[in-house]
Amino acid sequence: MKKSQKRKVMYKLKLLIAASEVVPFAKSGGLADVSGALPKALRALGHDVRVVMPRYYIVDREKYGLKRLEGTLGVPMGIMGEAWAGIYEGVIPDSDVPVYFIDHEGFFGRKGLYDEEGEGYGDNDNRFIFFSRSVMQLAKMLRFKPDVIHVNDWHTALIPILLNTTYRNDPDFKHAGTLLSIHNLQHQGKFYKGAMDVLDVGWEHFNANELEEYDGVNFLKGGIVHADAINAVSKKYAQEICTPEFGWGLDTLIKDKAYKLYGILNGVDYDEWSPAVDTLIPRTFDLDDLGGKEVCKLALQKEFDLPQLSDIPIIGLVGRLAEQKGITLLSAAIGKLMELDIQIVLLGAGEKWAEHFFMDVADKYPEKFACYVGYQNDLAHQIEAGSDLFLMPSLFEPCGLNQIYSLRYGTVPIVRATGGLDDTIENYDSESKSGTGFKFYDATPEALIGTVKWAVDTWYQDKTGFEQVRRNAMQKRFDWKEAAQGYEDLYRHIIAGRLSSSE
């Protein structure tokens, strides 16, 4: 074998990515964007990547051409006995990355992913124990023998402990390592301790150093302890979660595990999120021809019934209406913001009080504030394309994708300097005209209002400055290729660690 060929063979990794949501099949937030895009980027680097997710009711089997694999998968569920899963197989569109869907009518044949009408399903512990166990059983059924199992958030955080206990001596997982990505530390999967009897890894793991927390089970905690490495989707967030302010009670533990904590930043799928190729916006545009942006702006004003004026800045907001996103700050600031010569367009769904609050604001200021309560992907693209500024006043933000999309669309971000928002946006400097956005630090309505005013003043009074920030923003790239290379290095590091510890 020639040297170069040998190197290529050596370099191919077998990676199993488990996630509770994957674009385009099912999505509630950025986790789905990441678990749809990262596998494609890893595949482009030459690796054998497979993805596993639940087959929720909303996953459209026909649209995505999913095929049912023969047979059923036996999934041991402790005191519940054995459960049986059907397996569907498909691919991530525009790729040859296989995706396996775990089908179980009782656990996943429901309207929501995790909840309905804001009410979490009462059996989420069993649902995700089942899913995690299915991932392991599926790997065996496929004889896949992964080098690394990459799990995401609390839903799949039990996999590292399953690997270290139940599957410890299983030859199919002989050298398998695990990576846990934390996309959001707030949600940890905390349940009644009875879940231990279903998980069935042994009650000896129900202790304060592993799965136990205040006499209940904490899935994410187990993952943090048992994974070979942890990735918190930005460098800043990796630092923040070691502090009480952002640690949600796990900061001491995470600080303890800092030796295996990384902060690889998410990338962006520019096939989906680029104004040059976006098929969901009225007119494409790019840095060398911004004419289309003006068309998108007027169309957005029309769509939202706002006066069609090109010289007034539109501030866009898209996101879950959750505390994390700074909705309380925004609601406290809105009165003052409405005194400015601006228009605001908001797209979001989530906390009921916030949905009602922002609909009332729209009634009160019909010329200035418009909102759509719901989830609508094409509108998200149109807001990115048609707005001039994009506001993300998050209290915490592990990575944040919308501000990165905004950069590419020349929609200058106004962000609170936390987590990935701080890492991806450079503050505007009016002297040098450098920077890609406007940042504020304090989580107060005053700081938010002051920074929006600064951005709006720049729009009206420092036009060349504003145009320069827009250009700086549009030139920024956060390619998945680079992020995937970071993951590849980390996977290899994990594998090396596993190999040396088994010697």
Q: Based on CB atoms, which residue is closest to ligand ADP, 318 or 447?
A: 318
Tokens representing residue 225 in the block: 């302890």
Q: Toward ligand ADP, which CB reaches closer, 28 or 239?
A: 28
CB 403 within 8 A of CB 318: no
Footprint on this chain of ligand ADP (rule: CB under 6 A) = 29-31, 33, 318-320, 347-349, 375-377, 380, 399-402
247 binds, among ligand ADP, ligand GLC, none (CB under 5 to 8 A by kind): none
Amino acid at 244: P
CB nearer to ligand GLC: pick between 30 and 465: 30
Q: Is 497 exposed, middle or buried (0-12, 13-18, 19+ CB in 10 A)?
A: middle
- Taking alpha carbons only, the member of 446, 441, 449, 439 closest to residue 403 is 439
Rounded Cα gap, residues 101 and 104, in angstroms: 10
- Report the candidate in 156, 167, 99 with the shortest Cα–Cα distance to residue 129: 156
Q: Taking CB under 6 A as the rule, does residue 184 contact ligand GLC?
A: yes
Q: How far apart are CA 130 and CA 327, in angstroms?
A: 34
For residues 266 and 271, what is the distance between their CA atoms, to the nearest angstrom? 15
Give the closest residue to 93 by CA, choosing from 150, 22, 14.
Answer: 22
Residue 400 binds ligand GLC (CB under 6 A): yes
Q: How far is the CB of 420 from ligand GLC (least distance, A)?
A: 6
The CA angle 235-238-242, to the nearest 5 degrees, is 145
Q: Coil, strand or helix: which one is 236?
A: helix
Q: Which residue has the CB atom at the shortest distance from ligand GLC? A: 30
Q: Which is nearer to ligand ADP, 115 or 446 (CB)?
A: 115
64's contact among ligand GLC, ligand ADP, none, with CB below 5 to 8 A by partner kind, is none
Q: Are 456 and 313 in contact (CB under 8 A)?
A: yes
Residue selected from 222, 398, 410, 465 as contacting ligand GLC according to rule CB under 6 A: 398
Among residues 125, 160, 406, the alpha carbon closest in space to that of 268 is found at: 406
Burial 89-117 (b: 16+ CB within 10 A, else e): ebebeebebbbbbbbbeebbebebbbeee
- Closest distance to ligand GLC from the beta carbon of 266 (Å): 5
Dihedral (Cα; 427, 429, 430, 436), 10-degree rounding: -40
| Window of 24-32, 67-75, 189-197, 443-451 that interacts with ligand GLC by CB under 6 A | 24-32
Is the Cα dihedral 181, 31, 400, 267 positive or negative? positive
Residue 223 touching ligand GLC (CB under 6 A): no
Residue 233, binding choice from ligand GLC, ligand ADP, none, Cβ under 5 to 8 Å by partner class: ligand GLC
**Which of ligand GLC, ligand ADP, none does residue 161 bind (CB under 5 to 8 Å by kind)?**
none
Q: Of residues 249-278, which lie at the interface with ligand GLC (CB under 6 A)?
A: 266
Sequence-distant (≥ 6) Cβ neighbours of residue 204 within 8 angstroms:
none
User: Which of ligand GLC, ligand ADP, none interacts with 376 (beta carbon under 5 to 8 A by kind)?
Assistant: ligand ADP
Residue 231 or 382: the one with the smaller Cβ distance to ligand GLC is 231
Residue 414 near residue 451, CB atoms below 8 Å: yes
3-state secondary structure of 49: strand
Q: List binders of ligand GLC among 403-422 (CB under 6 A).
A: 420
Q: Which of 147, 228, 240, 397 binds ligand GLC (CB under 6 A)?
A: 397
Which residue's CB is nearer to ligand GLC, number 148 or number 233?
233
Shorter beta-carbon distance to ligand GLC: residue 71 or 120: 120
Considering the complex, state which of residue 134 and residue 387 has its C-beta at the smaller distance from ligand ADP.
387
Angstrom distance (rounded) from CA 428 to CA 425: 9
124 or 402, CB closer to ligand ADP?
402
Minimum CB separation of residue 396 from ligand GLC in Å reads 8
Which of the listed partners (ligand GLC, ligand ADP, none) does 414 bind, with a CB threshold of 5 to 8 Å by partner kind? Answer: none
In terms of CB distance, is 348 or 465 closer to ligand ADP?
348
Among 401, 448, 469, 473, which residue interacts with ligand GLC (rule: CB under 6 A)?
Answer: 401
Q: Are 40 and 52 in contact (CB under 8 A)?
A: no
What residues contact residue 136 under an 8 Å CB cut-off, 6+ apart? 159, 162, 163, 166, 167, 173
| Number of residues in contact with ligand GLC under rule CB under 6 A | 14
- Convert residues 25-54 into a mask of x (bound to ligand GLC by CB under 6 A) and - (unbound): ----xxx--x--------------------
Residue 320's binding partner among ligand ADP, ligand GLC, none (Cβ under 5 to 8 angstroms by kind) is ligand ADP
Residue 499 CB, shortest distance to ligand ADP, in Å, is 34
| 3-state class (DSSP) for residue 316 | strand
Closest distance to ligand GLC from the beta carbon of 481 (Å): 17
Question: At closest approach, how far in Å is the CB of 223 from ligand GLC?
Answer: 15
Contacts with ligand GLC by CB under 6 A lie at 29-31, 34, 183-184, 233, 266, 397-401, 420
